[in-house]
Amino acid sequence: MKSLIVQLENRKGIPLDLNFECEAGKVLALVGPSGSGKSTILRSIAGLFKTERGFIKCHDQVWFKSDQRIFVAPQQRHVGIVFQNYALFPHLNVRKNIEIGMDATCVSSLEDLLSMVNLQGLENRMPSTLSGGQQQRVALARALAREPKVLLLDEPFSAVDQVTRRKLRLELLELIRKLNIPIILVTHDLDEAAMLGDRLCVLHNGTGLQTGTPDDVLRAPATAVVARLMDIRNLFEGELVDQDQEKNTSVILWEDIKFEAPFQRQIQKGSKINWSIPADKVLLHRRVNPSRGVRENPVSGQIIELVTISGISNVIIALDSDQRVKLHMDLPPHVVERNALKVGEKISVSLLKDALHLMDYSHSSSR
Ligand code: ADP
Ligand code: MG
């Protein structure tokens, strides 16, 4: 199996403690706030930074194995990197910028590379005359010139405006699907990570806290810290007051409400917990024609905010009169319209049992 395996540990200087694997043809997104070590991890894979301990294997080649003192030089790793600011040479035209990435071992021709990234006809232009998206494609063509064994992308969209970003993500997705190599994408943009990553590795202070599909991480964050890093809006504290494995049920006391969640073996009865529910798993009780699920963990409150952004209506419901306990619900705008939802209205919702996720409270604060 062609894949990239990365295990890194560093205690002095820049702290790192993580491991992940990425298969050929797949994208692993390293996601974490600025300063969490993302660029350092890419530099370690490229051989530009050496951690105290670790193991890096690409396909069947070991690039780094600290306990056997194996450290393959950067130029022998054949890694393609697109740097955050693209690092194009401003005084060289597109052709020359790409040719710098090519060498005698290069299999693809300049024409192949230009057409792969849709830059035909622009080979004589200078970088300053190109749009952000075009510059990115030049950097990508240069990174792909030597038929790299892995492709590393460091915040590839941070230099372009919001509108271009959407378009470029789709273009990049189309291009990278054709490359049969592992791709590591670094980003602090959660939407980008979820959209482009087949899997995510969530980082905090250099530590890999959770690796999984975007869906897994968003629905079942390992800890409250991961939930906060992933910007999960419905994250609360509560207490596990009862559980029944046969009925696959945990009973949670939250504020003064009791409701049911799936059974969770690891958490003891009587423990304090964190729990989360994705905003799109909060079910609105239709006012006109009540339907399924209305008896499932019902709660009611008052709408205190209702904003529609890019085709999703974000509704905030206050469950108490001093608006301390707030629940987020995402709805399609037509549902908001049909149910005549407005700020100030009282509504009832259900917290769907299967979407509720419990976390051990002892992992609730960051280090
Ligand atoms: P990210 O890419 O996630 O923003 P970096 O990998 O650039 O994070 O940085 C991780 C940490 O290492 C930060 O605290 C940063 O200040 C520090 N750091 C980055 N580069 C160096 C360096 N060359 N020397 C010392 N510290 C560095
Ligand atoms: Mg960085």
Q: Give the tens place of pLDDT for each residue, 167-205.
A: 888 888 888 878 899 999 999 888 889 999 999 999 999
Distance 121 CA to ligand 2 centre (A): 32
Six token digits for residue 308: 């529609």
d(CA 38, CA 49): 12
**Full set of structural domains in the chain with CATH:** 3-226 (3.40.50.300), 233-276+355-363 (2.40.50), 279-351 (2.40.50.100)
User: DSSP E strands: which ranges in 45-187?
Assistant: 53-58, 61-65, 70-71, 79-82, 150-154, 183-187
Give the ligand with the smallest distance to the CA of 32: 1
pLDDT in tens, 68-125: 999 999 999 999 999 888 889 999 999 999 988 777 666 678 888 888 888 888 999 9
Is residue 239 a contact partner of residue 274, using CB atoms and an 8 Å limit?
Answer: no
Q: Is the CB of 40 under 6 A from ligand 1?
A: yes
Distance 97 CA to ligand 2 centre (A): 23
Nearest ligand 1 atom to the CA of 41 is 6
pLDDT in tens, 326-361: 999 999 999 999 999 999 999 999 999 999 999 998
Q: Is the CB of 187 under 6 A from ligand 1?
A: no
Distance 230 CA to ligand 1 centre (A): 21
pTM of the predicted protein model: 0.89
Is residue 4 a contact partner of residue 21, using CB atoms and an 8 Å limit?
Answer: yes
Of 11, 57, 64, the residue nearest 205 (C-alpha): 11
Q: What is the DSSP string of 244-262?
A: ETTTTEEEEEETTEEEEE-
